[in-house]
């Protein structure tokens, strides 16, 4: 079987900025065919922003896709801003964007943190979601946070973990998320930038199945690193403004919404346990565990599953 890959490059047919209040303005773009099947793309991070290749997971002839940079990310302003930046602010932003687009409901597509936000949105506004396509499930459970910042991933990437520890004083290493909060909000620019690069590099190591120097360079570029580190740390510190198990308990609201989860078996950033727990809480979802897959959407097996899912729902 030939693996599916990205659709040809395409440009947005419309772009703009949406003032959502609280001093935030969001960059958005619409791609594909105006009036075709509505879809929403939610990027990861949080803080990572959208890229041109994200558009290419949808058939442009059959979809009308809205993509946007979440608060503080990408081209949204103010850059890397933490005030009035929570999961529930973003859920409200999505509704503003839907109303701006004039659609009643849409397919919601999100990977990694984008899967978390997709679930939070779908459980808050199930009547607005026609289908869900999710990748690399992250539910903000204590075990998931522990895996990334206390134990687990550090066993697989010990040299990278030591680099992650390096900016943090020995006495503060018991809570790496809190320690990095201090560094990332320091009054000293050099301290903030060093911490941002170290935080982003650690994530970059965990998301690839095989080493990818070009991707690590992109992750640690100053502008990108500052946004993803500050915003991601902010969300991790506050546990996503979610109670433990909240998204699993709320999964009953997804009953009746068709869904696909594409999950890498060897995903070291968001291990498969969360996807399996979500499948048990939402039995109707089509969970596809990719035997040779890691975390990133553009790995061959992961991308094949995602494009096949959007093709299926386009029909």
Q: Which run of H or of E encompasses 189?
A: helix 189-207
**Rounded average pLDDT over 214-224:** 89
Cis check: omega of the bond before 72, within 30 degrees of 0: no
**Rounded average pLDDT over 25-33:** 98
Domains and their CATH numbers in the chain: 14-142+242-314 (3.40.50.1820), 145-240 (no CATH)
Is residue 115 annotated as a catalytic residue, yes or no?
no
3-state DSSP percent of the chain in helix, strand and coil, to 5: 45, 15, 35
pLDDT per residue over 140-151, tens digit each?
Answer: 999 999 999 998
In contact, 179 and 172? CB cutoff 8 Å: yes
Measured between alpha carbons, how far is 95 from 101 in angstroms, rounded to an integer? 10
Predicted confidence at residue 212, as pLDDT, reads 85
pLDDT per residue over 83-137, tens digit each?
Answer: 999 999 999 999 999 999 999 999 999 999 999 999 999 999 999 999 999 999 9
Pairing of β 129-135 and β 14-21: unpaired
Predicted confidence at residue 277, as pLDDT, reads 98
Name the active-site residue from 54, 224, 234, 295. Answer: 295
- Structure tokens, 115: 């899967």
Cβ-in-10-Å burial (0-12, 13-18, 19+) of 200 comes to: buried
Measured between alpha carbons, how far is 291 from 265 in angstroms, rounded to an integer? 5
Q: Report whether pLDDT(1) > 90.
A: no
Q: What pTM does this model have?
A: 0.97
Is residue 162 annotated as a catalytic residue, yes or no?
no
Predicted confidence at residue 117, as pLDDT, reads 98
Least confident residue range of 55-69, 109-123, 202-216, 278-292: 202-216
Name the active-site residue from 76, 112, 115, 200. Answer: 112
What confidence tier does 315 reach under pLDDT thresholds 50, 70, 90? confident
Is residue 112 annotated as a catalytic residue, yes or no?
yes
Predicted confidence at residue 301, as pLDDT, reads 97
- Structure tokens, 85: 């930046």
Side-chain-facing half-sphere of 29: CA atoms under 13 Å = 16
Predicted confidence at residue 210, as pLDDT, reads 85
Q: Report whether pLDDT(215) > 90.
A: no
**Contacts for 245 with CB less than 8 Å, ≥ 6 apart:** 139, 141
């Amino acid at each position: 079987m030939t693996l599916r890959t990205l659709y040809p490059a395409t440009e947005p047919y419309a772009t703009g900025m949406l003032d959502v209040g609280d001093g935030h303005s969001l960059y958005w773009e619409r791609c594909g065919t105006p009036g075709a099947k509505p879809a929403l793309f939610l990027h990861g991070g949080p803080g990572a922003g959208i890229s041109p290749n994200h558009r290419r997971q949808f058939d442009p002839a059959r979809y009308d896709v809205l993509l946007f940079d979440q608060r503080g990310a990408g081209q949204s302003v103010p850059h890397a801003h933490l005030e009035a930046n929570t999961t529930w602010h973003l859920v409200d932003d999505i509704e503003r964007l839907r109303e701006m687009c004039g659609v009643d409901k849409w397919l919601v597509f999100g990977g990694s943190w984008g899967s978390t936000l997709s679930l939070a949105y779908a459980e808050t506004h199930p009547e607005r979601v026609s289908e869900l396509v999710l990748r690399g499930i992250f539910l903000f459970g204590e075990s998931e946070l522990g895996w990334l910042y206390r134990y687990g991933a550090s066993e697989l990437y010990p040299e990278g973990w030591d680099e992650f520890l390096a900016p943090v004083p020995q006495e503060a290493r018991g809570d790496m998320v809190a320690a990095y909060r201090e560094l990332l909000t320091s009054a000293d620019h050099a301290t903030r930038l060093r911490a941002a690069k170290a935080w982003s590099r650690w994530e970059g190591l965990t998301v690839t199945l095989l080493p990818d120097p070009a991707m690590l360079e992109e992750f640690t570029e100053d502008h990108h690193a500052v946004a993803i580190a500050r915003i991601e740390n902010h969300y991790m510190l506050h546990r996503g403004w979610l109670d433990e198990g909240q998204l699993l308990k709320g999964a009953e609201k997804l009953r009746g919404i068709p869904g696909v989860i594409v999950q890498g078996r060897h995903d070291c950033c968001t291990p498969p346990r969360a996807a399996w727990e979500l499948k048990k809480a939402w039995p109707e979802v089509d969970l596809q565990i990719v035997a040779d897959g890691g975390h990133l959407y553009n790995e061959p097996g992961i991308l094949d599953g995602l494009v096949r899912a959007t093709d299926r729902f386009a029909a």
